[in-house]
């Protein structure tokens, strides 16, 4: 183990892979020192773990109704967070809901940045009027209200998880385009790009193979920070009934169905919200920490 550590910390790396891994290792050490970021990482990791292991760790089936057991308060034996109006265990539903949340986040995290990277790198690399047009477009989209446009789109397309993801991704790409363009501009005129171009590489190859990897760290930070917001928007859509449909245990949907019992059986609406809050908080903490470490220029924003 220490041999590996020494290899990573070697100030004179002998291969590119060693240098890269060494950099990542150093960044990891710095992140580790930031306790809040570590807490964020823990929460995010917990989310992934819970989502993956859901069928095995959930104490009850999230769909089976048990009307004799309805609206039991938290702390009842076997139902730690209480039961909802169909007698379903809230804890199990939250655990399974983590899967849905993870699914949504993962899909958005893949689609929106890809779209943004495409627009941003092309704009930054080619410059001139292509840049001007694409950036105008991005700025216009940046000025749009994300939630309400996503709402309108899903309303028209019809509720469903894929439609929700599509709507969110379509409104989430502009910041990534901005970030990607900024990074591309700093890289565009460097010598190694010129060298590759002289060797005859085509523009798509240069962009895909060399420019995009340079943009990745900033994009990753942005993704992490964005995810918190995405979770809230997705929950909002679910709350309005525009996401997954019942009886699926999406957290926003659970809050909405718990509204009727707010004053007497408060746990039905409150518990899922806690889950949303925690996960969003986790992403925020992680994103802040990542930004402080990887991009100290914009630290403490």
- Give the binding site for another protein (CB under 8 A): 136, 139-141, 143-149, 151-153, 155-157, 228, 232, 235-236, 239-242, 252, 255, 259, 262-263, 266, 269-270, 273, 276-277, 280-281, 284-285, 300-301
Q: Name the helix (H) or strand (E) containing 54.
A: helix 54-57
List own/partner pairs for 42-49 with CB under 8 A and 24 or more apart: 42/282, 43/278, 43/279, 43/281, 43/282, 43/283, 43/285, 43/286, 44/279, 44/282, 44/283, 44/286, 46/282, 47/98, 47/101, 47/102, 47/279, 47/282, 48/102
Q: For residue 222, what are its two tokens?
A: 């942005």
Residue 298 CB, nearest distance to another protein (Å)?
9
The C-alpha atoms of residue 63 and residue 219 are separated, in whole angstroms, by 38
Q: How many CA atoms lie within 13 A of 250 on its CB side?
A: 29
Residue 165 CB, nearest distance to another protein (Å)?
16
Closer Cβ to another protein, 203 or 299, answer by number: 299
Residue 150 CB, nearest distance to another protein (Å)?
10
Residue 164 CB, nearest distance to another protein (Å)?
14
Residue 274 CB, nearest distance to another protein (Å)?
8
Residue 41 is classified by DSSP as H
Residue 281 CB, nearest distance to another protein (Å)?
4
The C-alpha atoms of residue 156 and residue 171 are separated, in whole angstroms, by 15
Residue 254 CB, nearest distance to another protein (Å)?
11
Closer Cβ to another protein, 22 or 159, answer by number: 159
The C-alpha atoms of residue 80 and residue 107 are separated, in whole angstroms, by 31
Closer Cβ to another protein, 114 or 232, answer by number: 232
Closer Cβ to another protein, 13 or 273, answer by number: 273
Q: Which residues contact 27 (CB under 8 A, 6 or more apart)?
A: 293, 294
Closer Cβ to another protein, 60 or 222, answer by number: 222
Beta strands of the chain (E only): which ranges?
none
Closer Cβ to another protein, 82 or 193, answer by number: 82
The C-alpha atoms of residue 192 and residue 140 are separated, in whole angstroms, by 34
Residue pair 170/144 in contact by the 8 Å Cβ criterion:
no
Closer Cβ to another protein, 2 or 300, answer by number: 300
């Amino acid at each position: 183990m220490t041999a590996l550590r020494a290899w990573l910390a070697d100030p004179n790396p002998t291969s590119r892979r060693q240098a890269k891994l060494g950099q990542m290792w150093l960044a990891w050490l710095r992140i580790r020192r930031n306790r809040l970021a570590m807490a964020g990482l823990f929460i995010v990791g917990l989310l992934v773990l819970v989502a993956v292991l859901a069928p095995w760790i959930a104490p009850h089936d999230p769909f089976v109704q048990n009307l004799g057991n309805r609206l039991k308060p938290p702390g009842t034996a076997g139902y730690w967070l209480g039961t909802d109006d169909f007698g379903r265990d809230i804890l199990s539903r939250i655990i399974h809901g983590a899967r849905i949340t993870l699914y949504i986040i993962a899909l958005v995290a893949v689609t929106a940045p890809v779209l943004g990277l495409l627009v941003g790198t092309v704009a930054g690399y080619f410059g001139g009027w292509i840049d001007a047009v694409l950036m105008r477009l991005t700025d216009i989209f940046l000025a749009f209200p994300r939630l309400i446009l996503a709402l309108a789109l899903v309303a028209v397309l019809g509720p469903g998880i894929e439609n929700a993801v599509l709507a969110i991704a379509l409104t989430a790409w502009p910041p990534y385009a901005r970030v990607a363009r900024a990074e591309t501009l700093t890289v565009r005129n460097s010598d190694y790009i010129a060298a590759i171009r002289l060797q005859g590489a085509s523009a798509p190859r240069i962009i895909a193979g060399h420019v995009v990897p340079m943009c990745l760290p900033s994009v990753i930070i942005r993704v992490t920070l964005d995810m918190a917001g995405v979770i809230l928007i997705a929950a909002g859509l679910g709350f309005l009934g525009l996401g997954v449909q019942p009886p699926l245990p999406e957290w926003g949907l659970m809050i909405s169905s718990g509204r009727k019992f707010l004053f007497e059986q408060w746990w039905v609406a409150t518990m899922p919200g806690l889950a949303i809050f925690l996960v969003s908080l986790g992403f925020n903490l992680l994103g802040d920490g990542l930004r402080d470490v990887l991009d100290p220029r914009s630290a403490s924003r």
